[in-house]
Amino acid sequence: MLLGGALAFLAAYLLFASVGANLLLLATAFVLAGVGIGAAETAEHAAVATRAPEAIRGSAFGLLAALQSAGNLAASAIGGALWTTFSPAVAFVWLASWMLVASIAFLAMPGDGRSAAVPTTE
């Protein structure tokens, strides 16, 4: 799910960088961004829910929220600076490049990725 979310964001950002005023492609980009956020955040929360020890699960969710907020702030600040200094296309290409890095990292992870969100009964 994390890989799917990153790939949806990658496609959305590339569309935002290149479509101009084409309403259908802009709508497609927004749908892809919605799929990306839904997939990524759901997978992150599922991983915390299944992997964090019960005694600190609330704190683990708090840490996840703090990390997400810090990442959102950094991405927004840098993206905004690139948008203002250069162009919206440059900002979206920069964001897409990070989604490409994330996608490669997810592909390089050992295992099939399913064990992170599926509790065992053993």
Q: Residue 111: pLDDT band by 50, 70, 90 thresholds?
A: low
Tens digits of residue pLDDT in 41-81: 999 999 999 999 999 999 999 999 999 999 999 999 999 99
- Residue 75: CA count within 13 A, CB half-sphere: 15
Tens digits of residue pLDDT in 77-101: 999 999 999 999 999 999 999 999 9
- Integer angstrom CA distances of residue 70 from 4, 22, 84, 86: 22, 32, 21, 24
Kindly report whether the global pTM for this prediction surpasses the value 0.85: no
